[in-house]
A and B are shown apart, each in its own frame.
Chain A
Amino acid sequence: HSGGAGALAQWVLLELQGELEPRQGGHLAGSLLGDLHYTCEGVPVLVVGHHILYGKVVQLEKPFAVLVKQGAAPQPGPGEPHGRYSVTALIKTKLLFKTRPKPIITHVPKKV
């Protein structure tokens, strides 16, 4: 059962092309993705590893609800969501990164 917009947290969606691979083959959980900046004009800039991604802020026509599974057992199959879910947040905005990443050409890193 979804409540009114005032009751739920608002999250943001980041849409990226391709796959996510953890560095050094470790698990993703806990690892860094990158730094998200915005230009003065409001253009999102994401620095991920050796890449710079430029994106845009999009207000979603159809917002998303983020559903979180309640209870333990994982459900099989690609059928409908089985089991009990609750709505934990709403997403009305996404940051869409569609441009090809610009590789960062590294030279000797500055000593901090």
Chain B
Amino acid sequence: AAMRSRAEVDATLQTAKLNAAELLPAVHCLSFGPQAGGGECCLLQLEPGLLVIRGEKDEHAVLCSKDKTYDMKIADTSNMLLFVPGCKTPEELNADPVSCNIIYSQIAGFSKNYWELRRCRPKLKKLRKLLMEDPYEGPDSQKDQTSTFSKYTTEDLLSLIQASEEEILHQLQLIDACKIEGYWRILDFDYKMKLLNHVTQLIDSESWPLSKVPLCACLEELGSLEPREMIEHILLSYGRKYVDDGEVFFEMHEDKICRAIAQMLLQNAVKFNLSEFEEVWQQSVPEGMTTRLDQLQGLALVDKSSRPETIFLLKVEDLPEDNQERFNSLFGIREKWTEVDITPYIQDLCAEKQTVGALLTKYARSSMLNGVKVYNSRRPIS
């Protein structure tokens, strides 16, 4: 289309009965650019903070700020959104009056919708999966020398895991990963228990209070058996570090130690007689510690319907990450669940401000069984 002249613009103003004296001198003549309407451009609504897009080729992209992860959702407006390069606001025109009074602006594109960012759960299951490819079995293990498995630095993980840096570092801490020779490693469970056992036996033989285990003495006594970094790592994993009078001590974490020992016992069989298990478990934990079934949330499940009652290992981290798949898996294991029993196995699925109750409403159907509210699958399980 031919470019409009100032005279034509003024004629339009007259026809429209607009008073030029009430308007700023510059007019933008808007026309559609050659690419407009081709669907090449789209809008993405941003959240504050530096954004990076993460994900491998076959994964859905997520956007990450320093500490949060978002996926993208389309938002419809009922309006038409046009995006115009080089269009000046009244403020800009007043601050820097253009020498000419006609600006030809081409609309680059338009859309009825835009992409919205929605805070989502960071996809962290892959982190564990990657590190579990090659768990660290200790310095004596022949495996490390001959290993062909990939090892991952922090940078490697940042480029492979769909989560923000803070979320990744936090997860590494939660799974008790440690850096060995610059690579993040997860400890092989048996090696971890071997290290823990050294420490608990030493605590026992020295009669140290569980709340005040001295780091130096541990390193001295155990340094000949295991690398010092590993001894310190196990103390950090199962205790809270503090300083008293210039010396470093650890307050041992009773619940976490009892839980680890339970896992060690439970992984040796499909299921156990509950009362027998409870007896062996209490005997196996360090002197002064008390075992409680609630220490095993998300680790083991009690079957109260069997006679005698039994307990078996069920780790939440072994279950699917996707909501529907998680529920399918849980209902495949047990047809009807009480809220108390299922909560530890779905808690991690809750999005920001979402409750377990909301998840249950969405993915399960409730009914009453012997006066107790239970949840079962919405669909028939094949």
Contacts and interface: CB of A to CB of B under 8 A. Distances in A.
Contacts of A47: 12-13, 16, 18
Contact of B44 (A42, A67, A69, A93): A67
Contacts of B107: 14, 33
Nearest to A9: B85
A30 B35 CA distance: 9
Interface string B298-333: 000000000000000000000000000000000000
B89 A64 contact: no
A93 B115 contact: no
Contacts of B77: 15
A64 B78 contact: no
Given A31-B31, A47-B16, A80-B60, A42 B91 contact: yes
Interface residues of B, number: 71
B32 A29 contact: yes
Contact of B79 (A16, A30, A33, A57): A16
A74 B39 contact: yes
Interface residues of A, number: 57
Interface in A28-50: 28-40, 42, 44-47
Interface string B38-82: 111111111100111100000011000000000110100111111
Given A34-B30, A109-B15, 5 more contacts: A15-B82, A17-B80, A20-B80, A27-B37, A31-B32
Interface of B: 1, 4, 7-9, 11-18, 22-24, 26-47, 50-53, 60-61, 71-72, 74, 77-91, 93-94, 105, 107-110, 114-115
* 6 interchain residue pairs of minimum CB distance: A42-B90, A36-B28, A12-B87, A33-B30, A14-B82, A38-B90
28 contacts: A2-B51, A11-B85, A11-B108, A13-B82, A14-B83, A14-B84, A15-B80, A30-B1, A32-B32, A35-B28, A35-B30, A42-B90, A42-B91, A45-B18, A47-B12, A52-B18, A64-B45, A64-B46, A64-B83, A65-B43, A65-B44, A67-B44, A69-B42, A80-B71, A80-B115, A93-B89, A104-B15, A109-B15
